[in-house]
Structure 1
Amino acid sequence: MIDHLLRRLCRLIIAALMLAAGSARAASLDQDFRAFLNAEIWPEAKSEGVPRAIFDKAFRGVEPNTELPDLILPGGKTTVAEINFQAEFKSGAAYLSERAVAANAATGRQMLARYRGVLSRIEARYGVPAPIILAIWGRESAFGRAKIPMNAFEVLGTKAFLSRRKAMFRAELLAALKIVAEGHLKVSEMKSSWAGALGQPQFMPTKFLKYAVDFDGDGRRDIWTSVPDTLASIANYLKAEGWQRGRDWGFEAVIPRSVSCRDEGPDHDFRIADLVKAGVRSVAGRRFPASEESKLGHLLFPAGRLGPTFVATPNFYVIKAYNNSDLYAVFVGQVADRVQGAGPLVGRWQKTDRMTRGDVYRLQKKLVAMGYDVGAVDGLAGFKTRRSIGVAEKKLGLPETCWPSNALAERL
């Protein structure tokens, strides 16, 4: 009985000590965060014309949020998980499910009818098709219905302090302070996503300052409550990033094995007519539009050979400038097509090996050590990683899938 009581007492003492140590670490982190804000962020904010009163109000009661992803915490602990946090970098079958695409397209058609006049004026001014604008609006904020609850200064402050991409988030934090200083919003109204994105089009603060427009003529660039400003700001963003007026975003295509997935990417140009001669055809036997055949396109294998395949135009990569995910850009293109009456994807997402983001990261590290260009070593299978996998598969005598696999990881 005495031994049992002693063991229980020891456990309670250990738990109390661990709690005290955790509280001390949290207090130390909060102090370091406050020192960082005052020593590094305030001087830059002041030079940008941000009043001290706004700075103080923005960070009153704000502490670092260590539950956010992609942080490096004191002691070297990271919050980068083995799994993919962003939906855009998960399964293509899930992200581009028929349910999600069809629902967004149905609402998109309703919004096209409701805002046809303003969308026509926006399209005439910026050259971006209304269905593309609507698809982005739907994906980013469910056509303005999504709740965006996080404190933007908590998110951006934490990421400027602890993120792997400190310089990027430092600039975003300063831009957020300028948004308030310029009178666009009050501090209390600065709500964001977990990544720090704002409003219905989910602009990062620097993008708001650069691309947001006042289209309804009320003197405010209001991407929070004004539909005309929201839609025109999306169009202005795409135009500024190089949208080519009169061109489509891309086309689902049947790409024969004789055309290698190793030739994917925006840095590999093909005349669409030459791809047709090589056996590439639009799905269901349809021809590519005559207006496109003389122009340049790019092969796109968002899941390697294990999913739907496409011929992309340069406008596909303009959509990626908005969100750097192949699945995101395909989703936007598909919803836009469906708003105009197109059918579902014909290609099917095949079953792939269960690999975590950490598994892909380690595979990329192996490929880089062997001299391959995988782009960013980040655990995400972008086009450079996919085509490097294809080259490695060919050299090793494996089936050319251009997609991460356990078999390739083991062989490397």
Structure 2
Amino acid sequence: MKMFCESPVSVRAVCAAAVLCVGLGLSMGTPARAQGGDFGEWLQDLRSEARGAGISERTLDAALAGVTPNPRVIELDRRQSEFTLTFEQYRSRVAPQSRIDRGRRLYAENKPLLDEIAAAYGVPARFIVALWGVETDFGRNTGGYSVVRSLATLAHDGRRSDYFRKELLNALRIIDEGHITAEAMIGSWAGAMGQSQFMPSSFLSRAVDWDRDGRRDIWTTRADVFASAANYLKNAGWDGRYTWGREVRLPRGFDRAQLGLDTRKPLETWARLGVRRADGGVLPVADITGSIIVPDRSGGRAFIVYDNFRSILRWNRSYYFALTVGYLADRIGGN
């Protein structure tokens, strides 16, 4: 869902995980100004397009009346910090022991519901809970920005206007369908919404009304949050027969040209090449192919990852994010 983790070692990846957005201390400086011409004229054109797409006048009035650009959103889009974290630093911030402990409690608290959803989608419950924890600290940090205002600001700005204009139209459709009011549609500064932090396009294609109340509510209804996350992973190719991967130990002199997701080998082949479990034990005997990745460019921990890891990457294109989701899921599940 997150489109903005351009580097897996940057703090913007941590922000995507919704754990460091508060307290980064970014300077407000001089407010940035949108570059898309007169905002009022632009908004009228947007209303006309939305009206032509079938969005009701009532929704347009409720969502767009009085909307103005948000300079803070432009600043965050322009001036994200670029200092780097190691994977260890990232993981310790995103998945500390306190989050593991809370994840286990919430897993137990919601187990009947989670098991039902896991069986329906073929996605283990521990991964649903881990994504919930990494994205919004189990629903506690869902963002404090008006999604409509943020998306209007970014769509008018001109830097990625086509993408955000489509997301704004999608957000208006969500409101028009009655899933949430414009006022209650709160999320991140970039428009990711709810406890699962879906962009509006992901909401329309993947969100689920599990409790069948007529609304796909990823803001306040845990059943819909869990089912939507499971549905996303299922459609991203999740294979319920396997896990995501594991940490491994590479042999001395390992050919680093074989690192990366483009290289796939059966586990038995990696074992013959000297790859071992992190504790030095032999790799499991399983009919599965894997890739070896080292998330820190300068070296450090190595992991063998399977296709389910690639499914998590479709949620957020950051090695750090996907590895931490796997790590947290394993800890929540007792491994």
How does the TM-score come out when normalised to structure 1? 0.69
Which residue of structure 2 lines up, in the alignment, with residue 318 of structure 1? 311
Aligned mates of 1:100, 1:70 — CA distance in 2: 28
Q: Which has the higher helix share?
A: 1
Which residue of structure 1 lines up, in the alignment, with residue 321 of structure 2? 328
| CA displacement at 1:341 relative to structure 2 | 2.3
Q: Give 1:304's match in structure 2, choosing from 278, 291, 297.
A: 297
Uncovered stretches (5+) of structure 1, i.e. residues with no partner: 1-21, 72-77, 343-412
Q: Which of the pair has more CA radius of gyration?
A: 1
Q: How many residues align?
A: 306
For the residue of structure 2 that corresponds to 1:311, the secondary structure is: strand
For the residue of structure 1 that corresponds to 2:279, the secondary structure is: helix
Aligned mates of 1:120, 1:321 — CA distance in 2: 23
* Contact in 2 for aligned 1:153/1:173 (Cα 8 Å): yes
* Deviations 1:348-402 (CA, angstroms, capped at 9, x unpaired): xxxxxxxxxxxxxxxxxxxxxxxxxxxxxxxxxxxxxxxxxxxxxxxxxxxxxxx
* Contact in 2 for aligned 1:102/1:338 (Cα 8 Å): no
* Contact in 2 for aligned 1:149/1:192 (Cα 8 Å): yes
Aligned mates of 1:303, 1:153 — CA distance in 2: 37
Q: Give 2:184's match in structure 1, choosing from 189, 201, 209.
A: 189
* Deviations 1:5-27 (CA, angstroms, capped at 9, x unpaired): xxxxxxxxxxxxxxxxx99x96x
Aligned mates of 2:130, 2:94 — CA distance in 1: 15
Aligned mates of 1:99, 1:175 — CA distance in 2: 30
* Contact in 2 for aligned 1:138/1:144 (Cα 8 Å): yes
Aligned mates of 1:69, 1:275 — CA distance in 2: 47
Q: Give 1:283's match in structure 2, choosing from 278, 281, 296.
A: 278
Aligned mates of 1:62, 1:99 — CA distance in 2: 34
Q: Give 2:64's match in structure 1, choosing from 42, 59, 63.
A: 59
Aligned mates of 2:288, 2:158 — CA distance in 1: 41
Aligned mates of 2:215, 2:141 — CA distance in 1: 22
| CA displacement at 1:90 relative to structure 2 | 4.0
CA 1:98–1:192 in structure 2 vs 1: closer, same or farther (change >3 Å)?
A: closer
Aligned-partner residue type, residue 326 of structure 2: G
Which residue of structure 2 lines up, in the alignment, with residue 83 of structure 1? 82
Is 1:96 aligned to 2:91, yes or no?
yes
Which residue of structure 1 lines up, in the alignment, with residue 42 of structure 2? 36
* Deviations 1:82-117 (CA, angstroms, capped at 9, x unpaired): 625xxxx74423211178332222111111111111
Higher relative contact order (CA 8 A, sep 6+): 2
Cα-Cα RMSD: 2.4
Aligned mates of 2:193, 2:182 — CA distance in 1: 13
Is 1:121 aligned to 2:126, yes or no?
no
For the residue of structure 2 that corresponds to 1:302, the secondary structure is: coil
Aligned mates of 2:137, 2:232 — CA distance in 1: 19
Is 1:212 aligned to 2:224, yes or no?
no
* Deviations 1:281-316 (CA, angstroms, capped at 9, x unpaired): 11102333323xx31111111103422110010111
Deviates further, 280-289 or 115-124: 280-289
Aligned mates of 2:73, 2:255 — CA distance in 1: 39
Map 1:243-262 → 2, pairs under 5 A? 243-262=238-257
Aligned-partner residue type, residue 155 of structure 1: S
* Contact in 1 for aligned 2:35/2:156 (Cα 8 Å): no
How does the TM-score come out when normalised to structure 2? 0.84
* Deviations 1:207-242 (CA, angstroms, capped at 9, x unpaired): 111111111232321111111111011000000010
